[in-house]
Structure 1
Amino acid sequence: MAGVVNCRQLALGTGRPKIAVPITGHTTAEILAAVAPIKAAQPDLVEWRVDFYEDVTDAEKLQQTGQQLRAALGNLALLTTFRTHGEGGELALNETAYFQLCHAILVGGFTDALDVERYHDEASVKQVVAQAHQQNVVVIMSNHDFAKTPAQAELVQRLTSMVAWGADIAKIAVMPQSPTDVLTLLAATNEARETLNQPIITMSMGDLGKVSRLAGEVFGSCLSFATVGAASAPGQIAVDRLRPVLDELKLKG
């Protein structure tokens, strides 16, 4: 059974799935302006999608903005994510630039968790994981497929490999082409929850997959991504609509 991972004051992997909301601003001003309405909505975690940020490749500006964001968020946990273009992000970076960016985020000292994509050079991924752990930063290792839903065994294998590579939390998001694909994702989630010793985050994207964003406590996904303003992926639900449903579906006892 999966364990619990602490991220600032947040315990991931126990109870109702926690709620994350993205910040997708292009400028420092837009990023900081998003904080007040997000805090008013009371999510559990904020994801800063730095691939939207116009100065993302300038390490000094990235770190300065990150530190301002950290101060503005107070005790809210912060996940920092650069989503590569091949996995649905806004910007294409080569391997060297991607890992330089991960390093700059960690050196900046502003984030509680770092998204590290699984499908990069193994040695480089493991090096970033080690650096993050040295700084007590949680690693959410991820993989996103915007075209299809792989077979259940493949989904479980990907999540398993993330844990083997040092992930604190393993994450996978896939696109369904049919209701059967949604069932495949949910079955893989349940299997991984029963076999892995780390929490997992899974979702089936788009309108067809919305049910997966609601059913995490039953099947084993510890975090659901919602919106306050702009969405960062297809199928995200507004936080004020998602929270009551998660509460209603909470397992008793």
Structure 2
Amino acid sequence: MKATSVKLRNIELGSGRPKLAVPVTGKTEADILSQIEDVKAAKADVVEWRIDYFDGVQDADKLTATGQKIRAALGEMALLTTFRTASEGGELPLSDDDYFKLCQTVVDGGYTDALDVERYHDEAAVRQAVKAAHAKNVVVIMSNHDFDKTPATTDIIRRLSDMVAVGADVAKVAVMPHSVEDVLTLLTATNQARQTLSQPLITMSMGDLGKVSRIAGEVFGSSLSFATVGAASAPGQISLDHLKGEIDDLKLS
């Protein structure tokens, strides 16, 4: 099935080569704005603001004020805002109630183009977060991360399909491989899922073993890859300068 592309400002996920996102993980507003200047200079497609690293994340006014400064600094570059919970590899534990309040605060702030919503919370709350985001024309990138293992092909496809079923605009799964076979499982699942789902997918196999999955998205069906300018936010991320060339070398004519 041909994926329907999803527009984030001046880029389209699901069309052409995989787009490149760079996480920004500063703890202070000054650190964040400095990192953003570096990412802009390196010409990423998307900035992912990892608000679980931000020391003002639980102060709604401070979060919104910083988000609006980020928006002004980015110009027309797309912004994805993510609070990664501790159980899925993030920096900060947060109750489900607080997590969804935070999602609402981000959406209400008017600065982000996309919001990461973790799938495996209370389903009614997930659906409400999607509804709130869509009401403000914010794209929902729904996610699930398994830092322990690589599930079976059918399970990865089920997770991606499950995200689409609850309203995700883009479905994302990241898994940890322990063998070459695990990497092949992730790539096979991605290829099969894109044949049945019309929404763009983001998938990756983490760590050194999985680096090939970050490069070969156009071949297998992943629409976005996460790169680094400075510190990595997940195992196996490749520097933006290198990843640009590698993805261009694998471009399908």
TM-score category, normalised to shorter length: over 0.9
Matches within 5 A, 1:83-102: 83-102=84-103
Aligned residue number for residue 75 of structure 1: 76
**1:102-134 residue CA offsets vs partner (Å, 9 max, x unmatched):** 000011111000000000010110001011111
The letter of the residue matching 1:66 is: G
The letter of the residue matching 1:173 is: A
Shift of 1:197: 1.1
Alignment partners' CA distance in 1, 2:122 and 2:66: 28
Alignment partners' CA distance in 2, 1:96 and 1:169: 23
Gaps of 5+ in 1: none
Shift of 1:8: 1.1
Aligned structure 1 segments of 4 or more residues deviating by more than 3 angstroms: none
Aligned residue number for residue 5 of structure 1: 6
Alignment partners' CA distance in 1, 2:126 and 2:8: 20
Aligned residue number for residue 24 of structure 1: 25
Aligned residue number for residue 49 of structure 2: 48
Alignment partners' CA distance in 2, 1:165 and 1:230: 33
Aligned residue number for residue 121 of structure 1: 122
Aligned residue number for residue 104 of structure 2: 103
Alignment partners' CA distance in 2, 1:128 and 1:149: 27
RMSD after superposition:
0.5
Aligned residue number for residue 238 of structure 1: 239
SS in 1 for 2:195: helix
Shift of 1:223: 0.2
- TM-score (normalised: structure 1): 0.99
Equivalenced residues, count: 252
Alignment partners' CA distance in 2, 1:47 and 1:245: 21
| 1:186 and 2:181 are equivalent in the alignment | no
**1:176-224 residue CA offsets vs partner (Å, 9 max, x unmatched):** 0000000000000000111101000000000000000000000000000
Alignment partners' CA distance in 2, 1:225 and 1:36: 17
**1:8-40 residue CA offsets vs partner (Å, 9 max, x unmatched):** 111110110000000000000100111111111
SS in 1 for 2:137: coil
Alignment partners' CA distance in 2, 1:119 and 1:44: 28
**1:131-151 residue CA offsets vs partner (Å, 9 max, x unmatched):** 111111000000000000000
Identity of aligned residues (%): 65
The letter of the residue matching 2:126 is: V
The letter of the residue matching 1:126 is: R
**1:55-80 residue CA offsets vs partner (Å, 9 max, x unmatched):** 10111100000000010011100000
Shift of 1:42: 0.3
Alignment partners' CA distance in 2, 1:4 and 1:146: 28
SS in 2 for 1:250: coil
